[in-house]
Structure 1
Amino acid sequence: MNGSVPEMRRFTTFVLIAAVSLFSACGTLRSLNTGTQVDEDNTIVLPGDAREANNSDGTTIWDAFGPQYNEQKVQVNRYIWAASLDVLNFLPVQSVDPFTGVILTGYGTPPGGNQSYRATVHVRDPALEARSLSLALQTRNGRSVSPETLRAVEDAILSRARQMRIADKKL
């Protein structure tokens, strides 16, 4: 009987941890699916606290575990972000993180090309300027591309971002 009490405690602890993990994952997904807003300076604003719409007093169980968060600003220029995905659409996207402004792609071949590339894009600033964009291109054998090729892709991304901004202003 004595040997089963520690096992029972371990099982109870395991069930408790599993339940908390499950509920926290649901809360994270819910908060990510609430949508985004863009403020005047083209900064993406994500809601920091996901409240349940059917909850009458607006509180959730997660309010007991931490401070109340307001909105969190993400310092990423939306035009450069969208233009990067648009220009590099031939590359399979492996990972995107709007909080840090990083886009990681897998290997892909551009239309009409025979060399395979992968890209890492870092949008570092909310301004629509060249300094906001950091791009790294790599070939399948692990070598970096020539500076001219890198500059041409950066220019294509920045040109597309400017086109998107102009199109938005005309609406």
Structure 2
Amino acid sequence: MALKTMSKIVLALVTVGGLAACGGPNVVPDAYTNPNNPNNIETDPNNTIWSIFRNNTADTTIAVNKYLWTASLEVLSFLPVQSVDPFTGVIVTGYGTPPGGGRAYRATVLVDDPALDARSLNVALQTRGGRAVSKATARAVEDAILSRARELRIADNRF
């Protein structure tokens, strides 16, 4: 019983000590001594432990290639879409059978670059048994997506 009580006290002291260490003032180095602030204590009210939870990157945008994105959705339209995140460029589908095919597949597509380039496209295919498909099949799907993306780009430039 005494061991349990002692461990609770030690845990409480460690927790209080850790929290106390978080709240101390930030001392400015001597090279940056401010004559208006003789104690060299940083007084920026925005610099707190809670500032890490603020969204400081409001101007940051993640761009994916719109042609690759649209072509991926069109080529894999026979698969039911489970989740789509255009900000990270991820498309996750459920199992579906291609037209004229007998085996069910599911796909995960990552478009991770704004360039219309094969390196911007990553496609992972699985069969219903959880096995990855052959490299030739995956390559054929990637080629179909890339071809459709090029067609979309060419059609877009005609305007």
- TM-score, normalised by the number of residues in structure 2: 0.64
The count of residues paired between Structure 1 and Structure 2 equals 107
Q: Which runs of 5+ in 2 are unaligned?
A: 1-52
CA shift digits 1:139-166 (9 cap, x unpaired): 0000100000000000000000000000
| Aligned pair partner of 1:116 in 104, 108, 120 | 104
- 1:85 has 2:85 as partner: no
Match of 1:136 in 2: 124
* RMSD (Å), alpha carbons: 1.6
Letter in 1 for 2:119: R
Letter in 1 for 2:110: H
Describe how 1:2-151 pairs up with structure 2 within 5 A: 70-151=58-139
- Other structure's SS at 2:62 match: strand
User: Based on CA coordinates, which of the two structures has the bigger radius of gyration?
Assistant: 2
Distance 1:148 1:169, change over 3 A: same
Offset at 1:109? 0.3
Identity rate of aligned residues, in percent?
68
Once residues 70 and 138 of structure 1 are traced to their aligned partners in structure 2, the CA distance between those partners, rounded to angstroms, is 37
Once residues 159 and 131 of structure 1 are traced to their aligned partners in structure 2, the CA distance between those partners, rounded to angstroms, is 14
Which structure's residues are more often strand, by fraction?
Answer: 1
- Other structure's SS at 2:78 match: coil
| Aligned pair partner of 1:157 in 142, 145, 150 | 145
Match of 2:155 in 1: 167
Offset at 1:75? 2.0
- TM-score, normalised by the number of residues in structure 1: 0.59
Once residues 77 and 93 of structure 1 are traced to their aligned partners in structure 2, the CA distance between those partners, rounded to angstroms, is 19
CA shift digits 1:12-43 (9 cap, x unpaired): xxxxxxxxxxxxxxxxxxxxxxxxxxxxxxxx
Q: Which runs of 5+ in 1 are unaligned?
A: 1-64
Distance 1:141 1:168, change over 3 A: same
Letter in 1 for 2:114: P
